[in-house]
Amino acid sequence: MAHARLANGGSPTRRKYLAEKGIVLTPRHKGQRLNHGRLLLAGGAVVTFVAAPLVMLSAASGVASNAVTTPSSVAPPAPTGPAALSSSPRVLTMRQVQLMEARLVLHRQAAAKAAAHARIRAAIALAEAQAARAQALANAHAAAVRQAQEAAAAIAARPATHHHSAPHKAARSGSHHRVGLATYYYWHSGQCASPWLPHGTTVTIRNNATGATARCVVTDTQGNIPGHIIDLDPSVFTKLASLSAGAVGVTISW
């Protein structure tokens, strides 16, 4: 029995220590010790079976998060600069779209301004050409007026000649003379206009500077302009001078 108690109560030293402390091992205490050990084993098993899956899940989620956030696990960044233009299309932000639209508007405004400047330069060149042509016509007109005045003065200085014989024949052969300016306007070929001559009168025109002559028939009435005595059709005027002259000093006879 002593050996059994020793086996049940532990070593003699342990038993003596417990006796000094006033602790007596009874079958109840021994049962509690066994129950405590079993509970500890059961708790450890429960913790193992419950905590192990949780640890595995947490480890799996950590691996997944590392796979998402680790730069080495994601695709390489898209190229920038000129290489981006040659690669796949990129997605533009609203700010970039607005900047592109602003640049397009500025480009269109610059093109419109350049076109307007070109039109202005063309208009200025045309106006200068017209002014030069008008000046040339004015100079030619002034020269023709001077020639007509000089011719009129020369004719007035000549002594008067009287034809006593056959006055009607002299009149029919062109005894009437007048000095002035001849101009042209677009009328019927071979015809002309005069401020005072009746329609149907045949007139001979002579260029005072070159001596060239032409003939026409009066079929229209010209406005009474000082110094202008006859208005010719271009087909008649070109026999006396170039159309670019505009006006020429002449002597008409009828």
Domain contains 23: yes
Report the candidate in 97, 78, 76 with the shortest Cα–Cα distance to residue 87. Answer: 78
Please check whether residue 231 is in contact with residue 222, taking contact to mean a CB–CB distance below 8 angstroms: yes
Domain contains 227: yes
HSE toward the beta carbon, residue 146, CA cutoff 13 A: 6
Q: How many CB atoms lie within 10 A of CB 123?
A: 10
* Structural domains counted in the chain: 2
| Local structure of residue 158 (DSSP, 8 states) | S
pLDDT at 82: 53
d(CA 140, CA 41): 134
Q: Which residues pair with 192 in a beta bridge?
A: 218, 232
Q: Per-residue pLDDT tens for 124-136?
A: 999 998 888 888 8
Domain contains 200: yes
Domain contains 184: yes
pLDDT at 72: 47
Q: pLDDT at residue 2 above 50? A: no
Of 31 and 241, the structure prediction assigns the larger pLDDT to 241
Q: Per-residue pLDDT tens for 160-213?
A: 444 444 444 434 445 789 999 999 999 999 999 999 999 999 999 999 999 999
Task: Report the CATH number that the domain containing residue 204 is assigned in CATH.
Answer: 2.40.40.10
**What SS3 state is found at 247?**
strand
Domain contains 70: no
Residue 188, domain extent: 172-253
**Structure tokens, 167:** 């006055």
Domain contains 233: yes
Domain's final residue, options 11, 32, 59 = 59
Domain's final residue, options 59, 77, 107 = 59
Domain contains 29: yes
Q: Per-residue pLDDT tens for 208-247?
A: 999 999 999 999 998 888 888 999 999 999 999 999 988 9
DSSP code per residue over 56-124: HHHHHHHHHHHHHH-GGGSPPPPP-THHHHHSSPPPPPHHHHHHHHHHHHHHHHHHHHHHHHHHHHHHH
User: Tokens 């004719």 map to which residue?
Assistant: 155
Domain's final residue, options 59, 74, 106 = 59
The predicted model scores a pTM of 0.36
Domain contains 142: no
